[in-house]
Amino acid sequence: MSFAGDNALRNYLVVTGSYWAFTLTDGALRMLVVLYFHQLGYAPLDIALLFLFYEFFGVVTNLLGGWVGARIGLNLTMHIGIGLQIIALLMLTVDASMLSVAYVMAAQALSGIAKDLNKMSAKASVKLMVVDREGSLFKWVAVLTGSKNALKGVGFFLGGLLLSLFGFQHAMWIMATMLLAVLLLSYFMLPKQLGMARRKPKFIHILSRSEAINRLSAARLFLFAARDVWFVVGLPVFFSGVLGWSNTAVGTFLALWVIGYGLVQSLAPKLIRRSHHGHGPDGATALLWVAILTLSPAAIAVALYAGFDAAASLIIGLAVFGVLFAINSAIHSYLILHYSEHEEVAGNVGFYYMANAAGRLTGTVLSGWSYQQHGMVGCLAWSALFLCIATIISRRLPST
């Protein structure tokens, strides 16, 4: 039996279902904001600024969220996250004349806090529910994380559909109502003490004291910076401005990529089973796969620089990169739980995802600058450099 206790499986399903519902609204909200404010005539830079606080507050929330979760319980932090997302959605139901950049940035800040509270709580909870026997923790973490990423892609489609059928304000009401039902259901079904440490951690413990956690977090930072430095701005702008793809084609392609990425992540334990001999992966596994991933953006950059067909090079390269990145992400998501003791899991997961958010923020900011200065090849060069750094850091991760 992979689950610890009679109600552990039920609790896992409740947490996963809540995480799925939140993820659908998170992906849909992002697409709704982009499409709606484009229709209102907002400039691309203004639209990009709407998400600045979303990413920034992800760093802050993850740094503090694990400490808060250990003190008040992961059940409560997850529900606070869902509640904040409901408030963020309701803030956007006002008349269009009131939707200034500053106002929407404030709503997106709440949504960013909500997202990372929810993610930290859900992933840390798995450690408390699953017995790490014969790779079972790796399997269930991969299912949770992979399904979340696949549903985020579905959320992109949902956002466009809701905007077309109901309009922006009504879409916000629909999603807020759905999340309220999920909040009430999970509140009454989950144990109130889930994830609460027996000894209340001091504030200084928001920073990890484990060398393994610190190294894994540093590698995670550069891993996600390597993705977003070309994926967030450079790639969609290149598809649209250079290759002449329509906005619909770009959005559909990226949504399908995210869905595929999530499915591969869910299957990661089966894909790399031989490399960890039936047990969960270790530091050597992480080092191997990030080293392989480093070759992917470097190869795409070489292909573009050499004059090969740009569309084919990027599409094929993105498929390879997506598979390899999904496996790397799944390994990291397992290792952060594997390296953590039960009493410290909330704080360690929060610290780790703070590094994840910092990597996304770094990649997002650098993506626009590097594309403007050096084009798509420059973005890919930065990606390869970041992955080289992640590989060097991963050499010192503990191995069995």
CA–CA gap between residue 104 and residue 81 (Å, rounded): 18
3-state DSSP assignment of residue 231:
helix
Percentage of residues of the chain with pLDDT beyond 70: 82
Cβ 110 vs Cβ 88: under 8 Å? yes
At 291 the pLDDT is: 97
At 116 the pLDDT is: 81
At 226 the pLDDT is: 95
At 194 the pLDDT is: 60
Same fold, 1-192 and 210-400: yes
- How wide is the angle at C-alpha 216 spanned by C-alphas 262 and 324, nearest 5°? 35
Phi, psi of 130 (to 5 degrees): -110, 135
DSSP per residue over 101-144, as a string?
HHHHHHHHHHHHHHHHHHHHHHHHHHHHHB---TTHHHHHHHHH
3-state DSSP assignment of residue 3:
strand
CA–CA gap between residue 108 and residue 128 (Å, rounded): 31
Nearest to 347 by CA among 174, 169, 183, 195: 195
At 120 the pLDDT is: 75
At 127 the pLDDT is: 64
pTM for the whole structure = 0.75
Which helix (H) or strand (E) segment holds residue 188: the answer is helix 168-189
What are the residue ranges spanned by the domains of the chain?
A: 1-192, 210-400
Which residue reads 């620089």 in tokens? 305
Question: Is 1-192 assigned to CATH 3.40.50.300?
Answer: no
Tens digit of each residue's pLDDT (9 = 90 or more) over 323-341: 999 999 989 988 888 887 7
At 146 the pLDDT is: 76
Cβ 208 vs Cβ 347: under 8 Å? yes
Side chain identity, residue 30: R
At 1 the pLDDT is: 43
Q: What homologous superfamily is domain 210-400 in, according to CATH?
A: MFS general substrate transporter like domains (1.20.1250.20)
The CB-side HSE value for 278 (13 A sphere, CA atoms) comes to 2
Which helix (H) or strand (E) segment holds residue 75: the answer is helix 74-91
β-partners of residue 3 are 130
Per-residue HEC secondary structure of 250-319 comes to HHHHHHHHHHHHHHHHHHHHHHCHHHCCCCCCCHHHHHHHHHHHHHHHHHHHHHHHCCCCHHHHHHHHHH
Q: What interhelical angle do 310-338 and 211-231 show, nearest 10?
A: 160
CA–CA gap between residue 54 and residue 34 (Å, rounded): 14
Tens digit of each residue's pLDDT (9 = 90 or more) over 271-319: 776 555 556 788 899 999 999 999 999 999 999 999 999 999 999 999 9
| Average pLDDT per block of 10 residues along the chain, 400 residues long | 60 80 88 79 69 80 70 78 94 88 88 85 68 63 75 81 87 94 86 58 58 90 93 80 78 83 85 62 92 97 94 94 93 85 67 85 82 89 97 89
